[in-house]
Structures are given as structure tokens and as C-alpha cells.
């Protein structure tokens, strides 16, 4: 039987011309003129390949691709996005949504045929190996810093980790506070754009480009680039703008070598949607029984969300000088999970850093605190940078 190709495009001329061209190549063609019709046909027909336009009313191609990848019946169908949207950001969004290949209109029929045949050739029982490099730029290593609960110093760890990564890697690092209404870095570091994240979250996701993000990012005198959340409590409602957060994270991946995101605490609805997209999640807890119990439960839930254990790393933050704290071996025994790093108490250094509006690792480069962050940074660099990136 001939291989079946589903074309989803609201342009009837494209449906007719492309359909006829592929039919002449021996393929069976089915067509849909909108996103919902395309999803229905994909489920009913289970085609060998889907040729998908992006710019369609009501449901665009990105959303169609996400629905296809979320359904077990269509998750493995190869998707070739065929669209007039030719900017790098558009391509990145396409691949993030689940496309296996991306081709811009207009194109020569021979080129379209070559892409279709290449995708089908790479398909094995409907599964396509993802492209090794969908765009010409290397994506950043993304690290999400996630507290088991509030008040454990996750933000402090995020900002010092980002600062340490920038110095250790000698490359561009972006730090983002994904905590609208709870931002602290504007005040702590005296940054000039307190509404950066808020302004992006109030934009349609389609309009959040790298240039738009660049305009909203504050640059600290040390060189660290920071996307700040405001401290206005009512803006916490913006955590509901999940697609905007996803777009921001996607764009930032192609703006730096490392992206560190302060995710706040716990598995909120937003965090459950975002954490699978990170290369690493650093779970922050403290050396007391209840936080350790919470950390173990959080790690288990992250695995249930689809994260591999190799992506989940545990940081134990000894914020206080207290004899009631558990020792590292005691923490290890209770949590039964490898400890990636520990941070020793340094309250005076952290207060000095806030007074100087700087990061602790830069205020005292010879401190034990800096050594601990440098050690963590080197581990992350070693795990995530390819030989090409390290040069």
C-alpha cells in the first residue's frame, strides 16, 4: 500500500498543488483545511507523515503539533512543518512544539520531495530520530532551581550559581526569576528593569521573540544578564500564562550558553509544565527532617513527570548555624538520594553581598562559599557542554 500523507493547510491552493505533486510520487494524500480537522484526520487515519502549515486561524500549527505529540496514538508520526514563517525563532518554536523537520515556503518541488522522502526513510514503525541540530545555533544548557518549600534560599542559590557559571564558563549566562509578584533581585542587585518578566507575560506568546526578551533583560555590572520578576503581589496571577513562560524559556535557550531559572518552590501547575524542558533540575532543601521528607517526595514526583534521575540533582543548604541540623551522612541516610552539593552557612557574606548589591561569589572570591559554587558550576559545565562548545 502507498504511504499516506496528511496535509494540514488553510490555503486551498497549497492543498491542491502539493497534494497533486505528492500523488504523482505515489503517495496517498488526505487533506485538512484547519487544525482541528487535521487532528481528527490524524487520529482516524494514522498517516505515515504529516505536512503541517503554521499560520492557520483558531489553531495554529504549533498548537496542532503539541496536540499530536501529547496523544499516544499520534506521538510518533513524523511532522514536517511547511510554512512561510522563516525566522530562526519560528523554527525554534516549531521544533520545540514537536516538529521533526522544517521547510519554508516557497520551495522547489524537488526540495519538498527530498524532505518528505528523508523523513519517511528515517521513520521506523512511525518513529523518527529527532534532528541533531534543527537550527544553526547550539541551545543553552538550562538549569531550573526548585525549592522544596519557601524560605530555603533557592533564589540565593540561583543567583550565585548563575554568577559562578558565567565566570567559570567565560560565556553568556542568563538568570531568570519565574516568580511574578515575588521578585527580589531588582532590589538586591539594584537592577534597572523591574517589570521585565511582567511585560513579557502580558504579551501574546507568538510575539515573544528573542529581541523582545533582550529588551526586557537587565544587565548587572558583573556582566550577568537577568530577567527580573516584579515584587507586586497581585502579579502572581501571571503564573497562569503558561504558554508565555514556555515561549520565554524556548527563546532564552538560543540567547546564552547557560540559562538558570529560579522556579520558586513546589510543583505548581506552571512548574509541572516547565520542568520537563530543563536539562537539569537542582532541588534545594535544608538539613532538617521535614524538608528532607518534602525533598524526597518532590524528587519522586519529578520522576513521575518524566524526568530521568540523571537530570535531578540535590543541594542541601545549611543556611543556619544550628546544632539541631542533620549531618550530611544523616541527610543522605534519610533521603536515599545522591547529594550533589552542600552549602555551608554564610549569613554575614550574604548580607554583605546585598549591601554591595552584588553576588556573594564575587564579593569574596576566596571564600568557601565561592569554592562550593565553583565546584557545582564545573560539574554542570562538564555534564552539558559538548567539545565544540567548550572550545
In a domain, 127, yes or no: no
From 122, 155, 179, the end of a domain falls on 122
Residue 155 lies in a domain: yes
Residues β-bridged to residue 32: 8
Cell 521547510 locates to 103
User: Which of 87, 122, 157 is the C-terminal boundary of a domain?
Assistant: 122
- Structural domain contains residue 128: no
* Residue 172 Ramachandran class (φ > 0 left, ψ -120 to 50 alpha, else beta): beta
- In a shared domain, residues 345 and 283: yes
Taking CB atoms within 8 Å and a gap of at least 24, the contacts of 116-120 are 116/5, 116/22, 116/25, 116/27, 116/49, 116/51, 116/80, 119/49, 119/78, 119/80, 120/3, 120/48, 120/49, 120/78
Q: Please give the tally of structural domains in the chain.
A: 2
% of the chain residues with pLDDT over 70: 94
pLDDT digits (tens, 9 = 90+) for 23-68: 998 999 999 999 999 999 999 999 999 999 998 888 899 999 989 9
Distance separating alpha carbons of residues 14 and 112, to the nearest angstrom: 13
Confidence of residue 1 (pLDDT cuts 50, 70, 90): low
Q: pLDDT at residue 209 above 90?
A: no
Is residue 353 located within the same domain as residue 255?
yes
pLDDT, mean over the chain: 90
pTM: 0.69
Pair 146, 108 in one domain: no
Question: What are the strands of the beta sheet with 218-219, ordered from one edge?
Answer: 218-219, 225-227, 173-177, 258-265, 141-147, 280-285, 312-317, 339-343
Backbone angles phi, psi at 209, to 5 degrees: -100, 175
CA atoms of 24 and 27, how far apart (whole Å): 7
Residue at which a domain ends, from 62, 93, 122: 122
User: Average pLDDT for residues 248-261, to the nearest whole number?
Assistant: 92
Domain co-membership, 92 together with 178:
no
With 90 as the cut, is the pLDDT of residue 241 above it?
yes
Range of the domain at 99: 4-122
Contact 206, 256 (CB under 8 A): no
One domain, residues 109 and 168 = no
State yes or no: pLDDT of 388 exceeds 50. no
One domain, residues 195 and 79: no
State how far the Cα of 166 lies from the Cα of 173, in Å rounded to an integer: 6
Same domain, 117 and 165: no
Rounded-to-integer distance, Cα 375 and Cα 120, Å: 45
Q: Does 84 score more than 90 pLDDT? A: no
Residue 155 and residue 12 share a domain? no
Q: Which of 374, 165, 381 is nearest to 260 (CA)?
A: 165
Same domain, 15 and 91: yes
Residue carrying the nine cell digits 511574578: 180
Q: What is the CATH number of the domain that holds 326?
A: 3.40.50.300
Asked if residue 23 is part of any domain, the answer here is yes
The pLDDT assigned to 137 comes to 54
- Residue 199 neighbours by CB distance under 10 Å: 13
As a whole number, mean pLDDT of residues 192-200 equals 95
Residue 53 CA to residue 33 CA, distance in Å, equals 10
CB of 64 closer than 8 Å to CB of 30: no
Average the pLDDT over 299-310 and give the result.
93
DSSP structure class, residue 367: S
Residues 341 and 234 in one domain: yes
Question: Would you say residue 347 lies in a domain?
Answer: yes
Highest mean pLDDT among 79-83, 106-110, 311-315: 311-315
| Section 71-92 average pLDDT | 83
Say whether 285 sits in a helix, a strand or coil: strand
What integer pLDDT is reported at residue 300 of this predicted model? 97
For position 390, what pLDDT does the model report?
Answer: 44
Q: What is the dihedral of CA 322, 326, 328, 330, to 10 degrees?
A: 160
The answer to whether residues 152 and 278 belong to one domain is yes
Looking at the domain assignment, is residue 323 inside a domain? Answer: yes
d(CA 180, CA 229): 5
What is the distance in angstroms between the CA of the first residue and the CA of the last residue of the chain? 50
- How far from 119 is each of 5, 49, 107, CA to CA, in Å? 12, 8, 17
At residue 292, does pLDDT exceed 80?
Answer: yes
Distance CA 63, CA 329 (A): 48
Per-residue exposure over 289-320, b if at least 16 CB sit within 10 Å of its own CB, e if not: eebbebbbebbeebeeeebeeebbbbbbbbbe
Calculate the alpha carbon distances from 42 to 45, 75, 119, 207, 232 in Å.
Answer: 5, 11, 17, 29, 45
pLDDT digits (tens, 9 = 90+) for 114-150: 899 888 887 654 444 444 334 335 788 999 999 999 9
Contacts of 138 (CB under 8 A, 6+ apart): 257, 386, 388, 389
Amino acid at each position: 500500500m502507498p504511504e499516506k500523507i496528511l496535509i494540514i493547510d488553510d490555503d486551498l491552493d497549497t492543498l491542491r498543488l502539493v497534494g497533486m505533486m505528492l500523488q504523482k510520487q505515489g503517495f496517498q494524500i488526505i487533506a485538512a483545511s484547519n487544525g482541528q480537522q487535521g487532528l481528527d484526520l490524524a487520529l482516524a487515519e494514522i498517516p505515515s507523515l504529516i505536512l503541517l502549515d503554521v499560520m492557520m486561524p483558531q489553531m495554529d500549527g504549533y498548537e496542532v503539533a503539541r496536540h499530536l505529540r501529547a496523544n499516544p496514538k499520534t506521538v510518533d508520526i513524523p511532522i514536517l512543518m511547511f510554512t512561510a514563517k522563516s525566522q530562526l525563532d519560528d523554527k525554534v518554536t516549531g521544533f520545540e512544539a514537536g516538529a521533526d523537520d522544517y521547510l519554508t515556503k516557497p520551495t522547489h518541488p524537488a526540495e519538498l520531495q527530498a524532505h518528505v522522502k528523508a523523513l519517511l526513510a528515517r521513520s521506523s514503525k512511525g518513529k523518527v530520530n529527532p534532528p541533531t541540530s534543527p537550527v544553526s545555533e547550539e541551545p543553552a544548557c538550562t538549569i531550573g532551581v526548585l525549592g522544596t518549600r519557601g524560605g530555603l534560599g533557592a533564589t540565593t542559590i540561583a543567583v550565585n550559581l548563575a554568577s559562578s557559571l558565567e565566570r567559570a564558563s567565560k560565556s553568556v549566562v542568563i538568570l531568570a526569576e519565574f516568580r511574578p509578584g515575588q521578585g527580589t533581585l531588582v532590589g538586591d542587585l539594584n537592577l534597572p528593569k523591574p517589570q521585565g518578566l511582567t511585560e513579557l507575560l502580558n504579551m501574546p506568546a507568538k510575539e515573544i521573540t528573542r529581541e523582545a526578551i533582550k529588551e526586557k533583560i537587565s544587565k548587572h555590572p558583573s556582566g550577568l544578564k537577568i530577567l527580573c520578576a516584579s515584587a507586586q503581589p497581585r502579579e502572581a496571577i501571571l503564573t497562569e500564562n503558561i504558554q508565555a513562560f514556555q515561549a520565554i524559556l524556548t527563546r532564552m535557550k538560543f540567547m546564552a550558553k547557560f540559562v538558570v531559572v529560579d522556579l520558586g518552590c513546589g510543583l505548581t501547575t506552571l512548574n509541572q509544565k516547565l520542568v520537563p524542558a530543563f536539562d537539569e533540575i537542582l532541588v534545594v532543601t535544608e538539613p532538617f527532617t521535614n524538608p528532607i521528607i518534602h525533598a524526597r517526595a518532590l524528587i519522586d514526583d519529578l520522576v513521575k513527570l518524566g524526568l530521568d534521575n540523571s537530570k535531578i540533582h540535590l543541594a542541601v543548604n545549611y543556611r543556619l548555624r544550628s546544632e539541631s541540623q542533620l549531618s550530611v551522612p544523616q541527610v543522605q541516610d534519610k533521603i536515599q538520594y545522591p547529594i550533589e552539593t552542600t552549602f555551608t552557612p554564610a549569613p554575614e557574606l550574604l548580607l554583605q553581598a546585598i549591601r554591595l548589591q552584588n553576588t556573594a561569589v564575587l564579593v569574596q572570591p576566596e571564600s568557601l562559599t565561592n569554592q562550593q559554587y565553583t565546584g557545582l558550576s564545573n560539574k554542570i559545565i562538564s555534564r552539558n557542554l559538548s567539545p565544540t562548545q567548550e572550545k
